[in-house]
Amino acid sequence: MDSFVYCWTDRATAKLYVGLHKGRTDDGYVCSSKHMLKAYEARPSDFSREILTVNTYDVCRTFEAAIIRAMFAQNVPCYNLNVAGAIRYTEEIREKISRTHKNKTISEAHRAAIREWNANKRSPASQETKDKIRQKKLGVKRAPFSEEWKARIAAGMKKRVNPPEFGLAITTRQLGSKRGPLTEAHKDKLRQANTGKKHTVETIAKLKEAKATVSDDTRKKLSEAKKAYWAKKKGASDAP
């Protein structure tokens, strides 16, 4: 019986804080949370502590985690921000993260390091993880992009320059590949996804404007490239 689980109650805000401590109940320990401790030191008379259980460290740790998870599930106002290493993203935390990352620029060396890690060191997601992500996203509709976000995406894409071998790699990978016929289930998904979708007046105007600015020389090049691509693809598919 070397540990105990305690609960602080902030009477001014009706917030709780549940914690675990390995030691005596009368050793003067308050808590490990910085923002909870800050509030306690500012107005200690508003706080009262209750000992919930005294037991071994492992038993107390399990008990503490169960209580905090229950508080999170029921949206109980509390100072606790995480349980067993899992962070609870409150609106305050989300706002701090947002402020930190706004107008933040990443150096080219940093980008290169990220690409290197993703290409060679990152473990691919298991099929189980992919299925969980897919199930979580089913039926979830993403909010439309704001004009500011659209402008940021457009600016980023304009700066992006793919190396010459990028397009060649895609063409090489596609040549000779055969896509099987779509299943009825896949057709139904596509049909449902596209039902009711219409281009906005603004999008139609942009498409017309973009089409009108294509020169005859560019049209000819596009046509020749498309014919050459399909000729190569047909030749690859006919090869034994």
- Alpha-carbon span 39 to 79, nearest angstrom: 10
Which of the two residues, 201 and 181, has the higher pLDDT score? 201
Does the pLDDT at position 239 exceed 80?
no
* pLDDT for residue 237: 59
* pLDDT for residue 37: 94
User: Is position 80 within any domain?
Assistant: yes
CATH code of residue 65: 3.40.1440.10
| pLDDT-above-90 percentage for the chain | 27
* pLDDT for residue 52: 95
What count of Cα atoms within 13 Å lies in the side-chain half-sphere of residue 56? 2
| pTM listed for this prediction | 0.43
- pLDDT tens figures, 44-54: 999 999 999 99
| Domain that includes residue 57, residue range | 3-95
* pLDDT for residue 176: 66
Closest CA to 102 of 157, 64, 142, 152: 152
User: Is position 161 within any domain?
Assistant: no
- Alpha-carbon span 165 to 148, nearest angstrom: 33
Specify burial of residue 55 (Cβ count, 10 A radius: 0-12, 13-18, 19+).
middle
User: Is position 51 within any domain?
Assistant: yes
- pLDDT tens figures, 217-230: 888 888 888 888 78
Domain count, the chain: 1
User: Is position 31 within any domain?
Assistant: yes
Q: Are 81 and 87 in contact (CB under 8 A)?
A: yes
- pLDDT tens figures, 105-140: 888 888 888 888 887 777 778 888 888 888 877 777
User: Is position 112 within any domain?
Assistant: no
Strand-pair partners of 9: 16, 48
User: Is position 219 within any domain?
Assistant: no
Does the pLDDT at position 180 exceed 80?
no
User: Is position 143 within any domain?
Assistant: no
User: Is position 55 within any domain?
Assistant: yes
Q: And the tokens for 29? A: 């320990």
